Structure 1
Amino acid sequence: MGRILSRIFNGETSNSPECSSVVVHINPGEENYEPWCLPQHELGNWFSENIQHGTNAFAKDCKSAIDSVVQHIYCRCSENILAFHVYKVVKGGSLGKGTMVKDLSDVDLVAFVSQPYLEPISKIEKEEYKETLSGIIADLTSTLRGVQNVQIIRSDEYLLNFKIQVGSRWIDVDLLPTTDNVPKFQRSYRKLFLTMLDCGNGTRQLYSASFVQYRKQFVKEQPGYVKELIRLVKYWASRFLPKYLQKSYPLELITIYRWEKAGKPSYLDKAQGLRSVLKVLTKLDRLRVYWSYMSGVDYQLNEIIIRKLDMKSPIVLDPANPTNNVCFMYKEDKIEVLASAAKRTLKTDLLKSVTVWPYFGEYRAHRW
Structure 2
Amino acid sequence: METPWNLAPCDLSHFIKELRPTKSATKEVNDAIESLVGYMKKKLTVTVGRVGVAGEWGKSLSTQDDIFIDLLLYITDFRAIEDHSKRLPSIVNELRECLNDKYRLGMKNAQDCLTVYLPTCDDMITCTVFPTVDLLGNNPTQGTSSVYSMRHNIIIAILFSLANIGTFYRKFITVSDRSPYNATILEMQSNLIKKTPVYLHDLIRLVKVWQTTKLSLRSREPKPELFDLVTLHRWCKAGCPSEFDIRKGFFDVMKTLGDWASLQVIWGGTQYGRYDKNIMEEVAKHNLHICLEDTPLVMDPIDPFLNYCSGVRRLIWEEIERTARETTKEAVLKGGEVTPNWQ
- TM (norm. structure 1) is 0.74
Which of 195, 202, 210 does residue 221 from structure 1 map onto?
195
**What is the CA-CA distance between 1:226 and the residue it aligns to?**
1.1
Give the Å deviation of 1:345. 2.3
Write the deviation string for residues 25-73 of structure 1: whole angstroms up to 9, x where unpaired: xxxxx9xx7410123232112322x323x53332222111122111111
Which of 267, 280, 284 lines up with 2:256 in the alignment? 280
Name the residue aligned to 1:38.
7
CA contact (8 A) 2:172 2:178 kept: yes
Task: Compute the displacement of 1:284 (Å).
Answer: 3.9
Q: Which residue of 1 aligns with 2:144?
A: none
CA contact (8 A) 1:161 1:174 kept: yes
Q: Which residue of 2 aligns with 1:63?
A: 30
CA contact (8 A) 1:86 1:113 kept: yes
For the structure 1 residues 47 and 297, does the alpha-carbon distance in structure 2 shift closer, same or farther, using more than 3 Å as the test? closer
Q: For 1:278 and 1:294, how far apart are their aligned partners in 2?
A: 22
Q: Which structure has more helix as a fraction of its residues?
A: 2
- Alignment partner of 1:289 out of 266, 269, 280: 266
Equivalents in 1 of 2:317, 2:43: separation in Å? Answer: 45
Identity %: 23
Equivalent residues in 2 for 1:173-212, closer than 5 Å: 173-181=127-135, 185-186=158-159, 187-200=163-176, 203-212=177-186
Distance 1:133 1:223, change over 3 A: same
* Deviation of the 1:100 alpha carbon: 1.6
Question: Who is 1:341 aligned against?
Answer: 323
Please give the secondary structure, in 2, of the residue aligned with 1:154: coil
Distance in structure 1 (CA, Å) of the matches to 2:251 and 2:183: 33
**Bigger CA drift: 299-308 or 216-225?**
299-308
2:80 pairs, out of 110, 120, 145, with 120
| Structure 2: distance between partners of 1:294 and 1:190 | 14
State the shift of 1:113 in Å.
Answer: 1.0
Secondary structure of the 1:88 match is strand
Tell which has more relative contact order, 1 or 2 (C-alpha 8 A, sep 6+). 1
Distance 1:215 1:188 in 2: 17
* Whole-angstrom CA distance in 2 between matches of 1:333 and 1:113: 44
Query: Which of residues 160, 163, 166 is equivalent to 2:114?
Result: 160
Offset at residue 175 of structure 1 (A) = 1.2
Cα deviation 1:186-205 (Å, max 9, x = unaligned): 423334323332334xx224
Quick one: structure 1 residues 308 and 263, their matched pair in 2 at CA, closer, same or farther if it must change by over 3 Å?
Answer: same
Q: 1:143 to 1:231 in 2, by over 3 A?
A: same
Q: Secondary structure at the match of 1:355?
A: coil
Deviation at 1:332, TM superposition (A): 4.0
- Say if 2:132 is the partner of 1:132: no
Cα distance in 2 between the residues matched to 1:167 and 1:66: 14
8 A Cα contact 2:241 2:341, kept in partner: no
| Residues in 1 aligned to 2:223 and 2:49: alpha-carbon distance in whole angstroms | 29
**Letter of the 1:235 counterpart:** V
**1:226 is matched by which residue type in structure 2?**
L
SS of aligned partner of 1:325: coil
Q: When the two structures are superposed, what TM-score results if normalisation uses the length of structure 2?
A: 0.79
Deviations 1:6-30, CA, capped at 9 Å, x for gaps: xxxxxxxxxxxxxxxxxxxxxxxx9
Partner of 1:305: 283
Contact 1:215 1:320 survives alignment (8 Å): yes
Tell whether the 8 Å contact from 1:133 to 1:177 is kept in structure 2 after alignment. Answer: yes
RMSD after superposition? 3.0
**135-144 or 351-360, which deviates more:** 351-360
Shifted more, 137-146 versus 346-355: the winner is 346-355
Q: Which amino acid aligns with 1:166?
A: T
**Match for 1:192: what amino acid?**
F
The 1:96/1:295 distance shift into structure 2, 3 A limit, reads: closer
In the other structure, the counterpart of 1:144 is 99
Q: Following TM superposition, by how much is the alpha carbon of 1:294 offset from its aligned partner in structure 2, in angstroms?
A: 8.2
Q: Is the 8 A contact 2:244 2:341 kept in 1?
A: no
Q: Structure 1: give runs of 5+ residues left out of the alignment.
A: 1-29, 361-368
The CA distance in 2 between the partners of 1:60 and 1:276, in whole Å, is 34
Aligned mates of 2:59, 2:28 — CA distance in 1: 16
Matched residue SS, 2:22 = helix
Residue 169 (structure 1) aligned with residue 123 (structure 2): yes
Q: CA deviation at 1:75?
A: 0.9
For the residues of structure 1 that align with 2:114 and 2:319, how far apart are their CA atoms?
Answer: 30
CA separation of 1:314 and 1:171: change in aligned 2, threshold 3 A: farther
- What is residue 72 of structure 1 aligned with on the other side? 39
- Of 219-228 and 283-292, the range deviating more from structure 2: 283-292
8 Å contact from structure 1 (residues 137, 155) kept in 2: no
Q: In the TM superposition, what whole-angstrom CA distance separates every residue of 1:87-131 from its partner, at most 9, and x where no partner exists? A: 11211112222222111121111111113xx3433xx3xxx7434
1:95 to 57, 60, 63: 57
